[in-house]
């Protein structure tokens, strides 16, 4: 009984501390958000350094005894740690300080790097509107503030390491090298990431799967120069006509991908596993209404939840060529381009799928054009089991702060580095995401609920506590 009372007092002290300091927490996050750390655009390179330094400073202030900017061939990785006792378990927190480009900028209601709190239907307590508010500055910053909360209220119960990178949105190429070269430095018992979502503010969930990715760019070349579409039209292959025809052929009438071998390794779930997806609260009507679409669209034989989590996909992300200026110009462009992403599921290897795509795409091109396929980044899918100690510790944390157990949900997005962590560091990753699908990450008017930000800060210390206890009991 005595033990329970002491625990209760410590916890309420943390909640009180968050309540007292929430205004400052938000202001500190705003300062970080104001730095436009766009990794995809080299014009913003100096801001990447500023953002990395700001994260390092925040880690030091929160309580890390060692913080450093680790140089890479690209943008620096911020490392921080506080080791209190080598015999205790170690949590490694991963996040990213880079953000997506804000384009199209005209569609933002307020400037993307000037955070503002406004209410929405699902965020009556207010949401922070800004690029990176949810993905991932707001979610990453919860972990820095959670460290402060623990340090100011009795101290951390185990060791902690932070690894915050600046190239997640462009494929984490240099992080891979860093992880492979620093396995001792990064040694840990569990990896903790908040860079995903949850079902709703009153339906907590934990991400138990991520899709992998193959990303390619294609270039179709026809005649050696742009041509008058009257003088040459009808007599030569028009690269844009050909490209769209080739792209259209990549799906069949059941919306399945037509690349030979694409589904060969795909993990097929049994009916018991598929039945579990029906338990996940989901309203097709709300989903359609939120997107202003009359109907969903996708692979025959699978539900919307399945289509966006356990099934592989192929999507054009951008397509261009020819004249797109004002008015009409009569021209057959010499070249046409597209960027294509394929989301992969467990057992599909990114390298294999990229190769299958390349071979197929080249093979379907008619005479009269040439095809160039350039692979971009790739990554493998990830799955974890909800019976594991990592999930169970997280589940207990949510029970304390949300009053109910989180639902395990497989997500459709990708964090390619997670599969690599498992391979190189031999530890499991817990994906404690606090964003909502409606938070518009990567889109104009991205936002992150103030409730979600504060709830995250409150829930994280409970994970440290439960993980430490459960890990020690299991040794
Ligand atoms: N945080 C996202 C991934 C995410 C979001 C996963 C929501 C699950 C739910 C991450 O920053 C991201 O955008 N990843 C990219 C992949 C990367 C290789 C560019 C993605 O999923 O498109
Ligand atoms: Mn992210
Ligand atoms: Mn992202």
Which residue out of 37, 381, 415, 420 has the highest number of ligand 1 atoms within 8 Å of its CB and is therefore the one to mutate?
415
98 is catalytic: yes
Residue 377 has a pLDDT of 85
The residues, any chain, with a CB within 8 Å of residue 287's CB and separated by 6 or more, are 296, 304
Residue 3 has a pLDDT of 53
Which residue out of 168, 341, 381, 437 has the highest number of ligand 1 atoms within 8 Å of its CB and is therefore the one to mutate?
168
Cα torsion for 207, 398, 421, 195, to the nearest 10°?
60
Q: How many angstroms separate the Cα of 390 from the Cα of each of 38, 91, 397, 414, 432? A: 32, 11, 11, 20, 11
Distance 317 CA to ligand 3 centre (A): 14
- Residue 74: pLDDT band by 50, 70, 90 thresholds? very high
Tens of pLDDT, residue by residue over 363-385, are 999 999 999 999 998 999 999 99
Answer yes or no: pTM beyond 0.85.
yes
- Residue 2: pLDDT band by 50, 70, 90 thresholds? very low
36 lines ligand 1 (CB under 6 A): no
- Res 475 pLDDT > 90: no
> Can you tell me the distance from the alpha carbon of 48 to that of 35, in angstroms, rounded to the nearest whole number?
8
Distance 290 CA to ligand 3 centre (A): 21
Domain ranges of the chain: 2-210+381-474, 212-266+312-378
377 lines ligand 1 (CB under 6 A): yes
Ligand at shortest distance from the CA of 40:
1
Residue 1 has a pLDDT of 44
Residue 9 has a pLDDT of 54
Average pLDDT, the chain: 96
411 lines ligand 1 (CB under 6 A): yes
Q: In sequence order, what are the beta bridge partners of 191?
A: 92, 429
Residue nearest to ligand 1 atom 15, measured at CA: 414
Residue 12 has a pLDDT of 82
The residues, any chain, with a CB within 8 Å of residue 474's CB and separated by 6 or more, are 389
Distance 170 CA to ligand 3 centre (A): 9
Q: How many angstroms separate the Cα of 451 from the Cα of each of 100, 262, 434? A: 23, 42, 9
- Res 5 pLDDT > 60: no
Query: Helix crossing, 450-474 with 2-33: angle to 10°?
Result: 130
Residue nearest to ligand 1 atom 10, measured at CA: 415
> Can you tell me the distance from the alpha carbon of 312 to that of 262, in angstroms, rounded to the nearest whole number?
9
Residues with CB under 5 A from ligand 3 (ion): 135
- CATH code for 2-210+381-474? 3.40.630.10
196 lines ligand 1 (CB under 6 A): yes
378 lines ligand 1 (CB under 6 A): no
- Residue 232: pLDDT band by 50, 70, 90 thresholds? very high
Residue 8 has a pLDDT of 53
- Res 49 pLDDT > 50: yes
- Res 6 pLDDT > 60: no
Q: Are 186 and 80 in contact (CB under 8 A)?
A: no
Tens of pLDDT, residue by residue over 129-178, are 999 999 999 999 999 999 999 999 999 999 999 999 999 999 898 999 99
98 lines ligand 1 (CB under 6 A): no
- Res 358 pLDDT > 50: yes
Residue nearest to ligand 1 atom 7, measured at CA: 196
Q: Are 365 and 246 in contact (CB under 8 A)?
A: yes
Distance 194 CA to ligand 2 centre (A): 8
Three-state SS annotation for the chain: CHHHHHHHHHHHHHHHHHHHHHHHHHHHHHHHHCCCCECCCHHHHHHHHHHHHHHHHHHHHHCCCEEEEECCCCCCEEEEEECCCCCCCEEEEEEECCECCCCCHHHCCCCCCCCEEECCCCCCCCEEECCCCCCCHHHHHHHHHHHHHHHCCCCCCCEEEEEEECCHHHCCHHHHHHHHHCCCCCCCCEEEECCCECCECCECEEEEEECEEEEEEEEEECCCCCEECCCCCCCCCCHHHHHHHHHHCCECCCCCECCCCCCCCCCCCCHHHHHHHHHCCCCHHHHHHHHCCCCCCCCCCCCHHHHCCCCCEEEEEEEEECCCCCCCCCEECCEEEEEEEEEECCCCCHHHHHHHHHHHHHHCCCCCCEEEEEEEEEECCEECCCCCHHHHHHHHHHHHHHCCCCEEEECCCCCCHHHHHHHHHCCCEEECCCECHHHCCCCCCCEEEHHHHHHHHHHHHHHHHHHHHHHHHHC
Q: Does domain 212-266+312-378 have CATH number 3.50.40.10?
A: no
- Residue 10: pLDDT band by 50, 70, 90 thresholds? low
Tens of pLDDT, residue by residue over 301-331, are 999 999 999 999 999 999 999 999 999 999 9
Ligand at shortest distance from the CA of 417:
1
- Residues 286-290 have a mean pLDDT of 95
171 lines ligand 1 (CB under 6 A): yes
Residue 95 has a pLDDT of 98
**From 28, 81, 136, 168, active-site residue:** 168
């Amino acid at each position: 009984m005595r033990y329970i009372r002491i625990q209760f007092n410590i916890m309420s002290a943390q909640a009180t501390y968050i309540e007292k300091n929430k205004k400052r927490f938000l202001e500190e996050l705003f300062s970080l958000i104001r730095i436009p750390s766009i990794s995809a655009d080299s014009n913003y390179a100096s801001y990447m350094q500023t953002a990395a330094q700001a994260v390092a400073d925040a880690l030091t202030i929160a309580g890390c005894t060692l913080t450093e900017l680790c140089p890479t061939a690209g943008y620096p990785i911020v490392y921080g740690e506080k080791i209190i006792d080598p015999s205790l378990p170690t949590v490694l927190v991963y996040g990213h300080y880079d953000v997506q480009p804000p384009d199209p900028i005209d569609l933002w209601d307020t400037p993307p790097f000037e955070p503002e709190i406004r209410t929405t239907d699902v965020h009556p307590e207010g949401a922070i509107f800004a690029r990176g508010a949810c993905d991932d500055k707001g979610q990453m910053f919860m972990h820095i503030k959670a460290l402060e909360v623990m340090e100011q209220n009795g101290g951390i119960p185990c060791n902690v390491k932070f690894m915050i990178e600046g190239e997640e949105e462009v494929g984490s190429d240099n992080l891979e090298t860093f992880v492979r070269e620093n396995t001792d430095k990064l040694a840990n018992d569990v990896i903790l990431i908040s860079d995903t979502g949850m079902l709703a503010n009153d339906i907590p969930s934990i991400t138990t799967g991520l899709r992998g990715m193959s990303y390619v760019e294609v270039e179709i070349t026809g005649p050696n120069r742009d041509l008058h579409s009257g003088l040459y039209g009808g007599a030569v292959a028009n690269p844009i006509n050909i490209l769209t025809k080739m792209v259209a052929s990549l799906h069949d009438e059941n919306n399945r991908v037509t690349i030979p071998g694409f589904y060969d390794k795909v993990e097929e779930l049994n009916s018991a596993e598929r039945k579990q997806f029906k338990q996940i609260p989901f309203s097709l009507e709300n989903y359609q209404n939120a997107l202003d679409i009359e109907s969903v669209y996708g692979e025959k034989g699978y539900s919307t939840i399945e289509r966006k989590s356990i099934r592989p996909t192929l999507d054009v992300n951008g397509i261009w060529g020819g004249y797109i200026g004002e008015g009409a110009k009569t021209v057959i462009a010499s070249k046409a381009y597209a960027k294509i992403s394929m989301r992969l599921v467990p057992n599909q290897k990114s390298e294999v799928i990229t190769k299958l795509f390349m071979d197929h795409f080249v093979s379907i091109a008619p005479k009269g054009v040439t095809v160039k396929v350039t692979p971009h980044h790739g990554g493998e899918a990830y799955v974890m089991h909800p019976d594991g100690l990592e999930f169970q510790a997280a589940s207990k944390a949510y029970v304390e702060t949300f009053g109910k157990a989180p639902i395990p949900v497989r997500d459709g997005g990708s964090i390619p580095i997670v599969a690599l962590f498992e391979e190189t560091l031999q530890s499991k990753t817990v994906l404690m995401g606090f964003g909502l699908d409606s938070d518009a990450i990567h889109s104009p008017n991205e936002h992150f609920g103030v409730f979600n930000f504060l709830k995250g800060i409150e829930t994280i210390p409970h994970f440290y506590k439960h993980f430490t206890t459960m890990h020690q009991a299991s040794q």
